[in-house]
Structure 1
Amino acid sequence: MTQPTSGTTIDVRTIPPRERHPLIFQTFGALGDAQSMDIVNDHDPRPLYYQLQAEQPGLFTWAYLQTGPEVWQVRITRHTRPRSDGRCCGSCGGA
């Protein structure tokens, strides 16, 4: 199994709100298998998690590196094949 590598950090606190998600999704799309990126924010980026889950189900893992109260940091690792955390989302047909 390949270990995730992190090389990109996006500090969204310095980016205008309307540009944040497009930049994050563009960066995510450029990642290879098992590559990851870190997101730094001033609040829990949970809405981003739900958007990623809706658009890229099973193709990423999400790990909190720091959980506030002033700084939140998450590592998002991209996978080219769907991964399961034990909760079936139904997108893979149960495989």
Structure 2
Amino acid sequence: MSGTTLDVRDVPPAERHPKIHSAFGEWSPGETLTILEDHEPKPLFCEFQAEVEAFDAEGYEVEQRHPNEFVARFPKR
């Protein structure tokens, strides 16, 4: 799988989800958008699961590396 990493830790909260949706929309099926967050991205996961048909929720992964660093992988089908 190919894709990119998007670090949104320094992006203002109100701008994060639109930026992530935009980046995800640029990728082809089979690619994965990896996101670096400063909190558990569960609300984003739920949003993608409910609103983004191309999101492969079964392939979603999240890892907490540090107290304020989460890596989430959003695969596209």
Counterpart selection for 1:39 from 31, 35, 39:
35
TM-score (norm 1): 0.70
Aligned 8 A contact 2:54 2:76 in 1: no
User: More deviation in 10-19 or 44-53?
Assistant: 10-19
- The structure with the largest helix share of the pair is 2
Identity %: 34
Could you tell me which of 20, 45, 54 is aligned with 2:16? 20
Say if 1:58 and 1:78 are closer, same or farther in 2 by CA, change over 3 A: closer
Give 1:57 shift.
Answer: 4.5
Number of equivalences: 74
Bigger-Rg structure (1/2): 1
Question: Over aligned residue pairs, what C-alpha RMSD do you find?
Answer: 1.5
| Structure with the larger RCO, 1 or 2 (CA within 8 Å, 6+ apart) | 2
AA of the residue aligned to 2:47: Q
User: When the two structures are superposed, what TM-score results if normalisation uses the length of structure 2?
Assistant: 0.84
- Where do 5+ consecutive residues of structure 1 fail to align? 80-95
Q: 1:52 & 1:59 partners in 2: Cα distance?
A: 6
Show structure 2 runs of 5+ residues with no match.
none
